[in-house]
Amino acid sequence: MSEHDEIKSTLTESSETPGVIYSDKVIREDADSVDEPSLEESAEEAQPEGAMSLINHLEELRRRLIVMIVAIAVGSTICYFYAAEISGFITAPAGKLYYMNPSEAFFTYLKVSFFAGFLLALPVVMYQLWAFIVPAMTNKERQAGIFLVPSSIILFFVGLVFSYYLVLPAGIKFFMGFATDNLQPMFSIGQYLSFVISFLMPFGFIFELPLFIFVMARLGIISSAFLAAKRKMVIFLSFVIGAVISPTPDVFSQTMVAVPMLLLYEISILIVRYILRK
């Protein structure tokens, strides 16, 4: 066989078995033939599971707000049938009250029903808020939330009970102490209930302070030494907050709000120091 025939035979075998000759062209063609994921598929894979768009977030928020409003409305409707009993319970520290115009009692009952209905629906409201923010949390934060949500509700009601049985009677007694033979107190039911509600609600939020400090310390943001160093500032801020949220601008109401806040702050320092060891 001639040299020309050998070359021809080699080329024939190579054409029958493609891929034997590894030229640059073959390698590039093989690389191009591999299916690469598109940009859309990469974006979908990079997006975390359970993530929602802005529109979905707004729809989720709207749906949960509707649930909260419905829960408060249902609670207020139920409480309206017991508005007289609830009003009697709230007005017990002041004794006999009056209404100055024909519609005052009716609108006062509506206010009482809404206030009591909000408290009755508070677990539903807190759950809806928690369910809205939980997708953005880590597993560790979600586990902490299982403890935080019921604790916050309990502390809120403890603050209301503390204010009603200890702080409110002292406040009513103080203000009625200005009565004389020629100046007798005659409370309007509408004004009195507005005073009581605005007096009770701040204590519900103030009693959340230990829980807030506990979470901050657990996350390592603050320590007992940091809290002790900021004591003077907290004393000043407590009286400022008391002046802002108290229903009347007198020093007594301001002090009645500030002192429990300071006591809760000191309790929080002890919890962080001796329980969390921080």
The single-letter code of the amino acid at 12 is T
Predicted local confidence at residue 194, as pLDDT: 83
Predicted local confidence at residue 75, as pLDDT: 93
Predicted local confidence at residue 51, as pLDDT: 53
Predicted local confidence at residue 146, as pLDDT: 75
Which residues 6+ apart lie within 8 Å of 247 measured at CB?
Answer: 194, 195, 198, 199, 253
Spatial separation of the C-alpha atoms in residues 60 and 145, rounded to whole Å:
20
Low-confidence ranges of the chain (pLDDT < 70): 1-52, 140-141, 144-145, 247-249
> How many CB atoms lie under 10 A from the CB of residue 88?
11
Predicted local confidence at residue 88, as pLDDT: 84
pLDDT in tens, 224-244: 888 888 888 989 998 888 888
DSSP 8-state secondary structure symbol assigned to residue 179: -
Predicted local confidence at residue 144, as pLDDT: 67
Greatest Cα pair distance, the chain, in angstroms, is 141
Predicted local confidence at residue 152, as pLDDT: 87
pLDDT in tens, 99-124: 777 788 888 889 999 999 999 999 89
